[in-house]
Amino acid sequence: MICKSLKAKFLGLVLGALTVTAISVMAGVGSGYSLFGNATLVSPGHNSNRAVQLVSDGNANPAIFSGIDFGVSPSLTINNLTDMSTDYNFTASSCGVGSPRFGITLAGVSGTIFVYIGPPPNYTGCAPGWTNSGELLTPASLVDTSQLPGGTFYDPWATAQTRYTGKQVTDIFLVSDYGPTGAQTVLIDNTSINGTTVTYEPDNNDDCKNGGWQNFTLAPGPFTNQGQCVSHFASNGRSN
């Protein structure tokens, strides 16, 4: 179990995450994603053309944080939210002190549910290289509902679903805002939420510009020049 000092640090960070979500550019209701803070799209990804890079430096500069906000369906409730996972690759530091983590907010309920990435129960010491988180929302998966009324730090997902039954999910995000030893940098790819996988792949003409066509090392690339890349998207793939 997490020691009291570390748990206090977790709770301090998760309270700070409310500020993170408030200033982020939200994807809102629907589908897709948006980036906030210092998040950037980078190439390559995990056997793909692109991933998202999240950076934070909570020890030296708490203002450096980053994340991904995911659009959610207006019909999504906590009861039918049963799938959450992602591929990740730490290129600086590792998981720890509550970062990175998913956040889930519910309509009419104060606080945020946090779903930590890394080996439970301490969520530290993630292995280097591309790794899949595994399914994070099995009935027995532990989540942090301590910000919510009646919640607790180690809460089985099935228990949380029962306690807040019927509540609409208003937002889901993934954030890096601290790190166990200085700056944390983690690449994120192939994020699955309720059966929909976000791949972060390039998908329009703008992704071809400023040398971006060279990032297509896999299908629909590689391209020989920017024009060929632009033509591919302009013709909906019929030019290749």
pLDDT digits (tens, 9 = 90+) for 42-55: 999 999 989 999 99
pLDDT value for 222: 80
| Assigned CATH for 4-201 | 2.60.120
Q: Which residue has the tokens 């039954």?
A: 165
Q: Could you tell me the CA-to-CA distances from 116 to 45, 71, 97 in Å, in that order?
A: 22, 20, 10
169, 106 Cβ separation under 8 angstroms: yes
Residues forming CATH 2.60.120 domain(s) in the chain: 4-201
CB atoms < 10 A from the CB of 131, how many?
17
pTM: 0.82
pLDDT value for 22: 34
Q: How distant is the alpha carbon of residue 84 from its chain centre?
A: 10
Q: Which residue has the tokens 């450096």?
A: 64
Strands (E) across the chain are located at 33-37, 40-42, 51-56, 66-70, 84-92, 101-106, 113-116, 131-132, 142-143, 155-156, 169-176, 184-193, 196-198
pLDDT value for 6: 37
Q: Which residues of the chain have pLDDT under 50?
A: 1-30
pLDDT value for 12: 44
3-state secondary structure at position 190: strand
Q: For residues 142 and 165, give the distance between their C-alpha atoms in angstroms, rounded to a whole number.
A: 17
171, 21 Cβ separation under 8 angstroms: yes
Q: For residues 166 and 219, give the distance between their C-alpha atoms in angstroms, rounded to a whole number.
A: 41
